[in-house]
């Protein structure tokens, strides 16, 4: 379309919409203006309600899908069944580590919601931006996942005749590794691949535990507690690093936190 044709089209559209416009009387205009002024005065008198940090974290609970809580309860119930129904303590010891890694996957859709639904750019424009929401949901899901692991440890310890501390050391390394890997995927991967990477890491942890249990008979013996403690400390260090890096990336902005989205607007 040439410049003449474009100009003619714009003129015709302007005439069309001008014909559709309803004329307003001076009285109607004064009424609308008075209503706008009154509403502006009312909003200025209204004191804004500032939500504190604790209240904001608590408010995120209602945005977490109900199936997340149901899945966490189901994992605890499954661990209780395995712990009391399995005659051999070996599979129970392996199972507590596997389910600890799997429980992280329950919170992945909520933690990755900004990327999965492609609303990270919108959240950055909100008063409580993407970084604030991410921190709040990390706290809520971190606490609930830690509670799930603690309950599974409490159900497993009597069944395998071991101390809760020993069982916690068996559960913590895969739990920390799965958490750290999920945050790394959240920070670096695209929405299409991030959830699958989290699942792959949890599966890898589970396979590694089963392989070690079958090849190292004394893996869950008392003499291996120091090895489990070392693995837990190393995995926790990685988790702490990923939490810090994720927060820094979220605070930096869209280009760093969601580079796959930023590239589409360049």
Contact yes or no for 164/223 (Cβ under 8 A): no
pTM: 0.70
Going from the C-alpha of 237 to that of each of 78, 105, 177, 180, 240, the distances in angstroms are: 29, 20, 10, 9, 5
Looking at the structure, tell me whether residues 57 and 41 fall in a common domain: no
Boundaries of domain holding 211: 53-265
Looking at the structure, tell me whether residues 140 and 260 fall in a common domain: yes
State residue 47's pLDDT score.
Answer: 56
SS3 state of residue 46 = coil
Per this entry, what is the length of the chain?
Answer: 266
Looking at the structure, tell me whether residues 20 and 82 fall in a common domain: no
State residue 179's pLDDT score.
Answer: 92
Looking at the structure, tell me whether residues 68 and 164 fall in a common domain: yes
Looking at the structure, tell me whether residues 95 and 207 fall in a common domain: yes
DSSP state of 239: H
For the chain, the first-to-last Cα distance in angstroms comes to 27
Average confidence (pLDDT) over 52-68: 80
State residue 123's pLDDT score.
Answer: 58
Total domains in the fold of the chain: 2
Q: How confident is the model at residue 127 (pLDDT cuts 50, 70, 90)?
A: low
- The residue with greater pLDDT, 262 or 126, is 126
State residue 185's pLDDT score.
Answer: 84
Looking at the structure, tell me whether residues 155 and 94 fall in a common domain: yes
Q: Is the pLDDT of residue 175 over 90?
A: yes
Average confidence (pLDDT) over 210-238: 87
Q: How confident is the model at residue 234 (pLDDT cuts 50, 70, 90)?
A: very high
Average confidence (pLDDT) over 150-164: 88
- The residue with greater pLDDT, 204 or 87, is 204
Q: Is the pLDDT of residue 106 over 80?
A: yes
Looking at the structure, tell me whether residues 164 and 32 fall in a common domain: no
Q: Is the pLDDT of residue 156 over 60?
A: yes
State residue 255's pLDDT score.
Answer: 55
Looking at the structure, tell me whether residues 154 and 65 fall in a common domain: yes
Looking at the structure, tell me whether residues 8 and 80 fall in a common domain: no
Low-confidence winner among 10-24, 43-57, 247-261 (lowest mean pLDDT)? 247-261
Q: Is the pLDDT of residue 265 over 50?
A: no
Looking at the structure, tell me whether residues 139 and 199 fall in a common domain: yes
Looking at the structure, tell me whether residues 16 and 57 fall in a common domain: no
- The residue with greater pLDDT, 264 or 116, is 116
Biggest alpha carbon distance in the chain?
91
SS3 state of residue 258 = coil
The predicted-structure confidence for 249-261, as pLDDT tens digits, reads as follows 777 765 556 555 5
Q: How confident is the model at residue 264 (pLDDT cuts 50, 70, 90)?
A: very low
Contact yes or no for 171/152 (Cβ under 8 A): yes
- The residue with greater pLDDT, 251 or 233, is 233
Looking at the structure, tell me whether residues 22 and 147 fall in a common domain: no
Average confidence (pLDDT) over 13-26: 76
């Amino acid at each position: 379309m040439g410049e003449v044709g474009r100009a003619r089209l714009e003129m015709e559209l302007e005439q069309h919409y001008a014909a559709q416009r309803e004329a307003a009387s001076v009285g109607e205009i004064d009424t609308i203006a008075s209503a706008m002024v009154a509403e502006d005065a009312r909003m200025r008198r209204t004191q804004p309600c500032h939500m504190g940090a604790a209240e904001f974290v608590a408010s995120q609970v209602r945005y977490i899908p109900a199936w997340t809580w149901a899945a966490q309860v189901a994992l605890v119930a499954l661990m209780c069944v395995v712990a009391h129904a399995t005659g051999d303590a070996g599979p129970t010891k392996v199972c507590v580590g596997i389910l600890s890694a799997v429980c992280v996957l329950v919170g992945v859709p909520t933690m990755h919601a900004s990327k999965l639904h492609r609303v990270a750019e919108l959240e950055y424009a909100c008063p409580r931006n993407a970084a604030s929401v991410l921190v709040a949901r990390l706290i809520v899901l971190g606490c609930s996942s830690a509670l799930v692991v603690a309950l599974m440890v409490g159900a497993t310890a009597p069944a395998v005749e071991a101390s809760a501390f020993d069982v916690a050391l068996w559960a913590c390394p895969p739990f920390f590794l799965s958490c750290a890997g999920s945050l790394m995927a959240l920070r670096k991967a695209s929405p299409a691949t991030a959830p699958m990477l989290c699942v792959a890491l949890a599966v890898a942890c589970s396979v590694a535990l089963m392989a070690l249990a079958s090849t190292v008979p004394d893996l869950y013996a008392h003499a291996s507690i120091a090895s489990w403690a070392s693995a837990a400390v190393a995995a926790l260090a990685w988790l702490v690093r990923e939490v810090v890096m994720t927060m820094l990336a979220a605070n930096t902005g869209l280009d760093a936190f969601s580079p796959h989205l930023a590239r589409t607007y360049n």
